[in-house]
Every structure is written in C-alpha cells, then in structure tokens.
Copies of this chain bind each other. A is one copy, B any other.
C-alpha cells in the first residue's frame, strides 16, 4: 500500500465531526467519518512499518477504565496510545466507588485534569454500559465548560452493552484488506450467527456492533440465532435502516445453515439472550445472588439445546465456493481444545488461524485512528508531516 494513496483517501471526505468528539457507537458516525478512520488506520500502519514515529504527543495521559476483563483490547489500547505518544494510566475502581450520579461526575473530573483520551470498557450489564459512558461524557463536558478542565478529553468506547466499535472497525479494516477495498464489500453476504458455548453470558455488543456497521456499506447481512437469543431492538433497527440506505440488506433467521449458505464472510460466536441479560442486570442491582445463580444454570441448560450451532468443516463447505472468510473476535471456544464442545471445530479454527490473528492485529490501528481523528485538526497535513519529517520510531 502506498502512503500517499492511503492519505489521499481522506481527500473530499467530511470527517470534521470526529474532531474533539467521543467514539461510542459506529452508527452515530457518518459514512465519511468511518472511511476516514479506515484511511488513517492504514496511514498509521504505513508510518510505523516504515519506521516513522507516529507521535503527535510529546507527553500526555490516556486513562483506561476497564469494568470487565480484557487482554486483546487492553493491549490494543495501550499500543495505540503508545504509538501516538500517550502514556496509559489504568484506573482501577475497586469496589463500587463509582456507582451512581454524584460520584460518576466526580470521578470523571478527578481523573481527567491532564487526560487527553479515556478508554472505557463497560459491557457486563444490559442498559448500563453505554449509559455510564454517556453520563461520563456529559460530566466531562460540564467540567470543561465550567472551566474545571482546561481541555475536554475524548472518550473511546472499548466495548459497551450496545456496541463494540473498536472491534467492528478492526473487523471492517480486515475485510477491506481481504477484499481489496471498501467498495468490494458491496453485495457480499455476511453471516453473523450465534454459536454454542459452554459459558452463558457473553456480551451482545459484538454481534450488535457487527450488524450495525457491516450494513453501512452495501453488504447483505444475515443475523442467525436460536429462538430466544434476540439482540437488543435498537441495534437491529439500526441495521435495518442502514441496509436500506446503503443498498444492502439485513435479515434475521433462526437457521445457522441459511446464514452460512453462500456467505462470503461468516462470524459465528456465542452471546447471551437479551431478555435473560436484562433480567440478570435487574437481579444484580437487587443483589439477588441466588436468583442470578439459578438464572445462570437455566441459561447453560438452554444453551445446551443448541449445541449443534457450531462451525464445522461441513458448514463452511456450504459458503461461497466453500471458502468464506471466517471471523471471530477471539478468544474462541474451540471444540476439543478449549472445551468439549464449543463455537468452532479445531479443524476450521486451525485453517483460519492466520487470518484470524491478522483480523485481531487491526485493532491497535483502529483505536489509534479514532484517537488521531479526535485530536488532530488537520489530519492530512499532520500525516504528511509525520511521513516527511518525523524521526524514526527506533534506531535500528
């Protein structure tokens, strides 16, 4: 890929809406803005791979606030921030210090006096994560407007209950690379399907993020899951509208086979039923541990009814030319490897390991591009300047 060509893709796009704004939901962003993220991600990769420093910060802090475990996203965020010159400082909430109203406002302000960027993961409870992030964002704006914060740090969602934008944008980057351009996604069939896992409560935000983003560029997106494993209504409506607007399509089915048939791209992974997760969030708020355990047992038992929702070689054979792209956000539950029965057969996973790892390798660049576009007023000029004038990232 040529650097000038990558930067040139920014020309004519209207992406000023990203500047000094948060990145919480891909569907709050325009097509041009999403294209800009893709272009900047490629440009930053070329800078780094050609040993140019991408530092736009001489000093500065990025705060990470993880309310759920993470390896991939944590390291991707740390990598992206380091690439741009920011030092990551983890905020470890401990107990329930930052639970409600008053203290969210205070915490948001107290950790932000010298913060440039804040990354938040809060994906555990339906109805909570995205709400927390928007509250957090509002308090930052208030504190900035009141003169408490010299500048307003920007937020990047590292996964909420609704969307997982750094994952879906990394996946989109991957597909663009695989198919040789965003335009080539038009008319491609993508199957986003549920798959069996022996764990019961995986977030809905991955499939929601996928259907909400991949419908934007003319793909034919099929969402498949067993009865009862519905996603939240909002993202489904988003996907339907986006498909209509982009000339793609969005359908929901209860058949994994139907989704896979002739698909160009498949992504099969477990998630929890929305209704059960909503109930769980309420039980959690009520502190009813016994009821939560009962619900979890019930969910695991229900999951087991759909153990045949798994990615097999046979099923892969029904995809386009028997060779669809296989996506997974990782880690996958691999039958016979990480569990007795899971989302995918080892034979399939092994065959796709290299592209899966490449898929994951886009996330640091996707995050760095979001931050870059949030912070830099003239991204084209700054990228060109980094290419022509920045020192080496390291002295080889």
Contacts and interface: CB of A to CB of B under 8 A. Distances in A.
A48 interface: yes
A111 B358 contact: no
Contact of A358 (B76, B83, B116, B147): B147
A11 interface: no
A143 interface: yes
Contact of A71 (B55, B97, B394): B97
Given A394-B116, A395-B376, A103 B61 contact: no
A388 interface: no
B396 A111 contact: no
26 contacts: A56-B395, A57-B394, A59-B82, A59-B393, A63-B75, A69-B94, A71-B110, A71-B111, A76-B113, A82-B87, A82-B114, A83-B114, A85-B394, A102-B338, A103-B331, A103-B338, A106-B330, A113-B360, A113-B361, A113-B364, A143-B357, A148-B354, A148-B357, A149-B361, A375-B396, A376-B396
Interface in A88-134: 88-89, 91, 94, 97, 101-103, 106-107, 109-111, 113-116
A242 interface: no
Contact of A113 (B53, B79, B395): B79
A58 B69 contact: no
A234 interface: no
Contacts of A71: 91, 97, 107, 110-111
Nearest to A392: B58
A138 interface: no
A382 interface: yes
Interface residues of A, number: 69
B59 A83 contact: yes
Contacts of A89: 75, 78, 82, 88
Contact of A364 (B69, B79, B114, B363): B114
Contacts of A106: 330-331, 357
A49 interface: yes
A244 interface: no
A8 interface: no
A198 interface: no
Instruction: Please tell me how many copies of the chain the complex holds.
Output: 3
Contacts of A357: 106, 109-110, 143, 146, 148
Contact of A110 (B57, B116, B330, B376): B330
Contacts of A55: 58-59
B82 A60 contact: yes
Given A49-B150, A148-B357, 10 more contacts: A60-B393, A61-B79, A76-B113, A79-B114, A82-B114, A102-B337, A106-B330, A106-B357, A147-B358, A382-B395
Nearest to A360: B110
Interface of A: 48-49, 53-61, 63, 69, 71-72, 75-76, 78-79, 82-83, 85, 87-89, 91, 94, 97, 101-103, 106-107, 109-111, 113-116, 143, 146-150, 330-331, 334, 337-338, 354, 357-358, 360-361, 363-364, 375-377, 382, 385, 391-396
Contacts of A116: 394
Contacts of A375: 394, 396
Given A102-B334, A393-B58, A72 B110 contact: yes
